[in-house]
Structure 1
Amino acid sequence: MNLLHRFLRIGLTAVAVLIALIAIWYVWTYYERDPRTRNGHVRADVVGVTTDVSGIITSVEVSADQRVKKGDLLFQVDRARFTIAAERARANLESAEASLVYARQQASRNRALRGLVPEQTIDQSDSTLRTGTASVDQARAALASAELDLERSSVRASVNGVVSYAELRPGAYATAGQGMLALVDTDSLRVEGYFQETRLKHVHVGDRAEVLLMGEDKPFYGRVSSVTSAVNDSDTSIGSNHLPSIAPNFAWVRLAQRIPVRIKLDPQYISDALVPGRSATVLILGPDAAKQHGASPASEPRNERGPSLAQTCVARGRVCARERMLVLPSRRSGLSESRGNGRDAERRERQGVLAGVAAGSVVASL
């Protein structure tokens, strides 16, 4: 009996030690081999829309949360004043050109009569010609400026994005340089994860990354596009004499700095769920994660939950029926049969797969 208790204690101790080792290995993997952080957010560039001219707003073509493309009209400033200014500038240019033609004729005539007319007259005509040329150049510049103001009275989107703020109403007065709208640049959507500096040795540009948004069940995938090269040092400031002032530090425990790591998501994961500001958990999978997920480095992982064999199935039009599908593992021989409606159905499916493989026309890769 005592021997049995002794073996039981040894066995329980061994099991406890094994569980502890497994837990240690899991924690080490969780924090070191596959660095992750729950301190991540979706980011995008926000473009403030301002007017280059002042005037009364005559029409507003967008509303809040509306998607726009680069070049789309956002709102219109009253064009009447700018149209009149452009016409006036055009008339001034025509007048200056006419004066230049006359001055050129006079200068040419006086030069031809050199010796018959005073030199002072010739010099005066040449000066008038140069003044006329400058007047034409000035009139052309004024016309270009007036046409530019007329063009910019139509305020257009400078990026592809979403209107995040639109409280404009026709009749409001737009002041040049004052922000009127805000556009979220959808082409700049990204995820930024803030990793502790102690984990940066496992983070490299080009590594695959998994992103899980708070409230979402399906993860997104992308690549590390950059690691921030500098962060602000809150303990250092510049004194009045332009010398560094270091705050005294008596802490026994030093907290690791958080370094932003930017994740560029694969194009197929760009969706309305990527709302800038949302919280995200970021896991760095490493450079060979694409192979582990059954995909090439340049494409999305075929299996988002982990490594799996490449699979083929009988195509049913555009969709493969999951519950009546025969799976062909490409790394081993044999057929793995999914659940069906009976052995007869499975046998028929198997025969169909083999016939399709022989014909080379009914098997599609997943």
Structure 2
Amino acid sequence: MTIQRQYSLPNCKLILQGLSDTGGTNLSPGQVLSILMSAECHINGQEPPLTGGRDFFESLVRQVSSYAQEFLSGISSPRHHSESQELLQLNKIDVNLHRLTLFDGNVSGGNIADQKPGRIIDLTTVQLFDLVEAIDQFFADSLTLPDFSLAVRPISRRQAKSGEPVAQKVLPAAVGMSGLAVAALALFFVPIPEVQRPKDPQPQSNESVGNLETSPTSTSESPLNPTPKPEALDSSAESTAIDDSDQIGASEERLAEENLESFLTTSSEITDPAEIEKLQNLLSATIDDAWKIEISADLIYRVTVAADGSIIGYKPINPAAADEVDKTPLPNLLNQQAVAGDNSQSTAEFKVLFSEQGFLEVEPWQI
């Protein structure tokens, strides 16, 4: 009896089968799968699935992880293994098409140029992201191949080269966000409602008072309460209007001051690990693409992200982060419409580190 582990996404599914090194015939689902016998990679719309042993699975994990890192960062980096030792290859066709090539047999020790491809599959960006997430689920499973590890090192920003912005690369994968972007752009051009000053009250006519004072039957002036002067009414109205304007200005100033901590406390927090992983990758790509200014110290921020991937709040954690916030892209990336809108939407919080050496680290915020 074998142990089977499955990691499913809408466009991709990984199935691993193997045994436990503890031996025995009665294997339970809670046992560790330490000996991999076969691996299957099912891509939606591509039949039959890609299959192979441990060499195939290790090559798949290495190539997909390395290619995804290059695709999101826009920086070419050395692969973990030589191209002549891999059973699979991933190459970019265009911004929304990626070619996965599987070669026949084990080419270890040989030259991949002499091998003929056994299978070629073209993946869309959405399918590629689902494959990456399926591999992430495998790494998060401590009961499957605990001895398997993947060495990943960050790439310095000094190695970056000018290229196509990452926001354009991930646009097909986040096509659902286009409607939000159009709505935000439309709201940007809507003029701010003008606050009209209250109209001055009309001064009371003195005609009736004059008639009373000049009554023909009266021989003396009757004591009457003096009518308020128009100047006094104008002054009161102006004072009221100025107070209202001051209150509106103070409200706008308070809103501007609260932008840094807006939405950091919310009643609806995203807890799905898969959704948090997607938002983490999107936030890292967005900030890395917009970060242009060098910094003189490590800057740490607590950043709040909405379910659609927009940044709706951030808060400096160390003193240097508060002093050099203008050197980061966070103020420009803050979604002002979302900050001033409904705060009942689902959010996730991340720790963002701008390293003095030029590295960017994004990870879920740990309370």
Please tell me the TM-score bracket, short chain as reference.
under 0.3
Structure that is richer in strand per residue: 1
Give TM-score, length-normalised by structure 2. 0.17
Kindly indicate whether structure 1 or structure 2 has the higher relative contact order, using CA contacts under 8 Å at least 6 residues apart.
Answer: 1
Give TM-score, length-normalised by structure 1. 0.17
